[in-house]
């Protein structure tokens, strides 16, 4: 199996937390994303911004992890916005999941 190139990093500015994802978001790296998401929630943010504009591929497990983050934000009353790559947008549109996410302005 080839190594998957993926980065998930977290940073916080005031009440806003940023999760930046880059590369191929698939089953091989979903645990790295989950760790980053868990870190983002530890700071008790009011807004989580998920930047997936540099995600080059996403599979169903990656999508499921993002949907879990969106539901977790909703349940905690946290605003979540997302920037997504064209590849992600096509997948979300295809499976009818786009409405679960608030697109960043």
Q: Which of 41, 98, 89 is nearest to 67 (CA)?
A: 98
Helix (H) or strand (E) run with residue 23 in it: strand 16-25
Domains delineated in the chain: 6-103 (3.30.750.24)
pLDDT at 1 over 50: no
pLDDT of residue 61: 94
Q: Give per-residue pLDDT as tens, 31-67.
A: 999 999 999 999 889 999 999 999 999 999 999 999 9
Q: Give per-residue pLDDT as tens, 3-15.
A: 568 999 999 998 8
Quick one: average pLDDT of 92-100? Answer: 90
pTM: 0.89
Backbone angles phi, psi at 85, to 5 degrees: -75, 160
């Amino acid at each position: 199996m080839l190594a998957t190139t993926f980065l998930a990093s977290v940073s916080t500015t005031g009440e806003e937390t940023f999760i930046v994802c880059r590369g191929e978001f698939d089953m091989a790296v979903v645990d790295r994303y989950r760790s980053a998401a868990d870190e983002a929630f530890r700071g008790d943010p009011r807004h989580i911004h998920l930047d997936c504009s540099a995600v080059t591929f996403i599979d169903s497990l990656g999508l499921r992890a993002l949907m879990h983050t969106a539901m977790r934000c909703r349940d905690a009353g946290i605003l979540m916005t997302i920037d997504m790559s064209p590849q992600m947008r096509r997948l979300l549109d295809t499976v009818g999941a786009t409405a679960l996410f608030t697109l960043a302005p």
